[in-house]
Chain A
Amino acid sequence: MDRGLKRKCIQLASAVLYNANFAGFRDGAIWQGEGKGVCVPGLNCYSCPGAVGSCPLGALQNALSRLPEKLPLYVGGFILLTGLALGRLVCGFLCPFGLIQELVHKLPGPKIQKSRWTRRLSWLKYIVLALFVVAIPMCAAWARGYPLPAFCKYICPAGTLEGGWPLALLRADIRGRLGGLFCWKSALCVAILLSCVFCYRSFCRFLCPLGAIYSLFARVALLAMRVDKTLCDNCGLCVKKCPVDVCRVGDRECVQCGACRAVCPKNAIYFGKERRT
Chain B
Amino acid sequence: MRKKTVLRLVLAAAGVTALVLGLVQGQYGETLSKAVYLCLECVGLG
CB-based contact A159/B44 at 8 Å: yes
CB-based contact A149/B18 at 8 Å: no
Residues of B within 8 A of A179 (CB): 45
In the complex, chain A residues 12-51 whose Cβ is within 8 Å of any chain B Cβ = 30-34, 36-37, 39, 45-47, 51
A115 to B7, alpha carbons, bound, how many Å? 33
Q: How far is the CB of B26 from chain A (nearest CB, A)?
A: 9
- Chain B contributes a number of interface residues (CB within 8 A of A) equal to 35
CB-based contact A152/B32 at 8 Å: no
Interface centre among A47, A62, A181, by most chain B C-beta atoms within 10 angstroms, is: A47
A59 to B44, alpha carbons, bound, how many Å? 17
In the complex, chain B residues 1-24 whose Cβ is within 8 Å of any chain A Cβ = 1, 4, 7-8, 11-12, 14-23
Residues of B within 8 A of A177 (CB): 45
Closest to A189 in B: B44
Given known pairs A32-B36, A80-B15, the reply for A63 and B42 (CB within 8 Å) is no
A220 to B3, alpha carbons, bound, how many Å? 10
CB-based contact B4/A219 at 8 Å: yes
Q: Could you say which of A98-106, A160-168, A235-243, A261-269 contacts chain B?
A: A160-168
Report the number of A-B residue pairs with Cβ-Cβ less than 8 Å.
147
A12 to B34, alpha carbons, bound, how many Å? 26
Interface centre among B8, B17, B25, B37, by most chain A C-beta atoms within 10 angstroms, is: B8
Residues of B within 8 A of A178 (CB): 44-45
CB-based contact B43/A163 at 8 Å: yes
Q: How far is the CB of A164 from chain B (nearest CB, A)?
A: 4
CB-based contact B31/A74 at 8 Å: yes
Residues of A within 8 A of B7 (CB): 220
CB-based contact B8/A220 at 8 Å: yes
Flag whether A8 is at the interface (Cβ < 8 A).
Answer: no
A84 to B11, alpha carbons, bound, how many Å? 7
Closest to A180 in B: B44
A66 to B27, alpha carbons, bound, how many Å? 11
In the complex, chain A residues 124-167 whose Cβ is within 8 Å of any chain B Cβ = 148-149, 152-153, 156, 159-160, 163-164, 167
Given pairs A76-B18, A168-B43, 7 additional interface contacts (CB within 8 A): A62-B31, A70-B25, A73-B21, A167-B38, A174-B45, A181-B45, A182-B43
Which residues of B does A touch, CB under 8 Å?
1, 4, 7-8, 11-12, 14-23, 25, 27-32, 34-39, 41-46
- Listed by A's residue number, 6 A-B pairs whose Cβ atoms lie within 8 Å are A36-B32, A37-B31, A46-B34, A74-B18, A159-B42, A163-B39
